[in-house]
Structure 1
């Protein structure tokens, strides 16, 4: 009888131990899936990836892996959420420095939206960056710096595997003709398989305020929406400051911007120290969202070219009510 009781106790202990082990494994698995220390980039406190539809089964495991994005901006500062190994090349067209830095903050904020991978997680956290500094400490650039940056990409596109160019900048009140040198470079880049994404500008609500060089027909031009602090597209409106296209002038045949997405109160990385964050608004950051999304799509469709991704972006939109195409293009992105 005693032996039987001992055997029964041993069996109960073994069963209890097994249950504890299984529970521990479940807790560990939960920890991998739901990391409370991580936060995805947000707009007005809303998860941008959720708004875009990137938590759906076909996208949720994609992270921009294998995709290199060229960021033409103010540089990128070192940050805890953006390891130095993610920047495979840095070129400074302003001060000719060697090591990556950012004396304005705009570029670091852009890089965070696209691909932060720490406490803050961007749209494409496993993408790589080529960083070209064309903005000075005041956030200004010149025609010559932009031209030099684009030529550098053309000459080095194969070497660094550049697939996307993020241009969250521009020159106000400049409307060149179709023979413009930068437009020719955009055309060449498109033929080479590079997707160029430009910000519309922040000079709305007046018409004909798309910032140069985003009027080019060979780039995706991105405007901003105010999401009214909801995930519902029905109440979205074009941000007051988002630049509009020309519905009546010489460029009325171009329906710019091409698409729109979140642009109000975006939360991303600050350049002020390695662990800081900030909230900013504007079409520059809408553009970064689309660049990150494009990296995810390129990972999903590795055998498809830039024209396929461009058409997919244009077609994956929801038209906003009471907004014409010179305000919203095809509408707001939704995968």
Structure 2
């Protein structure tokens, strides 16, 4: 993975997921952990998804001699466990995590919220409450980055909260066509074009719990999302005054057109080098 001089140092990235394993690649950068399910005090991940996502954001590659580094290997990690060992969670726990972020953003220096989870809500009320919660975070100044979901390729398959018109919604550029075309696509129920941008997500190598072999392979828009979150952390390290609106415009300007419809590729494929040069 291409790296720049910027590593996201000093930037807090909150990861809402299945938790986090204290992997060697995270060093002492797990700044906070909160378990909304079992209230265990120490970091853990009984599924592995959250650790993999965190590695793609923030792993420094120590266990691989630097080979498998995340997009922002110097950033701080704030892990909020909202999903159980099966990857399931409740709307209520996600909303509680949103409120926690509002309360602790200054204490932990949280600038970015990575949501590599999504749901096709059972009711319109559930859908609306998730969107209202995530948009409140955006309005408070957080840079919210959410997965498009893996319900594609049918139109209107973006999952919540990635279906919010305000947040940055990420699809997988290598899962848009052919048999593996699972990356969610728009339009949303509000007729908003989504995703906003796409990045690699197929067969990504990153951190996993356990000590036998410290890396594993996972695929999906969950894996694309942290590549964007990490790059944003690097941009904020470079220019701390950037707003979430500024970041969104920079992503639009840096995207490479793949020649696909807007509701499939968004603005296009993420170009990290171009993004960090803006």
TM-score of the pair, normalised by structure 2: 0.90
Partner residue of 2:118 out of 158, 170, 176? 170
Distance 2:127 2:221 in 1: 26
Deviation at 1:318, TM superposition (A): 1.0
| CA displacement 1:188-243 (0-9 Å, x = unmatched) | 2222221000000111111111111111112111000119xxxxxxxx95850111
- Tell me: CA distance 1:149–1:319, structure 2 relative to 1, closer, same or farther (3 Å): same
Tell me what 1:99 maps to: 42
Distance 1:296 1:188 in 2: 24
Deviation at 1:131, TM superposition (A): 0.6
Tell me what 1:251 maps to: 190
Distance 1:306 1:213 in 2: 17
Tell me what 1:21 maps to: none
Tell me what 1:11 maps to: none
- Tell me: CA distance 1:202–1:216, structure 2 relative to 1, closer, same or farther (3 Å): same
- Tell me: CA distance 1:113–1:295, structure 2 relative to 1, closer, same or farther (3 Å): same
**Residues 25-40 of structure 1: matches in 2 within 5 Å?**
none
| CA displacement 1:37-86 (0-9 Å, x = unmatched) | xxxxxxxxxx3x2xxxx5xxxxx211001100000000110212122x21
Deviation at 1:275, TM superposition (A): 4.6
Residues 269-278 or 162-171, more deviating: 269-278
- Tell me: CA distance 1:95–1:194, structure 2 relative to 1, closer, same or farther (3 Å): same
Q: Is residue 161 from structure 1 mapped to residue 113 from structure 2 by the alignment?
A: no
- Tell me: CA distance 1:179–1:73, structure 2 relative to 1, closer, same or farther (3 Å): closer
Distance 2:36 2:164 in 1: 23
**Residues 1-335 of structure 1: matches in 2 within 5 Å?**
47=1, 49=2, 54=3, 60-83=4-27, 85-117=28-60, 118=62, 119=64, 120-174=68-122, 176=124, 180-226=128-174, 240-246=181-187, 250-252=189-191, 254-273=192-211, 275-321=213-259, 323-334=260-271, 335=274
- Tell me: CA distance 1:308–1:169, structure 2 relative to 1, closer, same or farther (3 Å): same
Unpaired runs of at least 5, structure 2: none
Distance 1:240 1:198 in 2: 18
Aligned CA RMSD, in angstroms, stands at 2.0
Q: Is the 8 A contact 1:72 1:167 kept in 2?
A: yes
- Tell me: CA distance 1:191–1:274, structure 2 relative to 1, closer, same or farther (3 Å): farther
Distance 1:240 1:293 in 2: 25
Distance 2:31 2:117 in 1: 22
Distance 1:274 1:136 in 2: 23
- Tell me: CA distance 1:269–1:178, structure 2 relative to 1, closer, same or farther (3 Å): closer
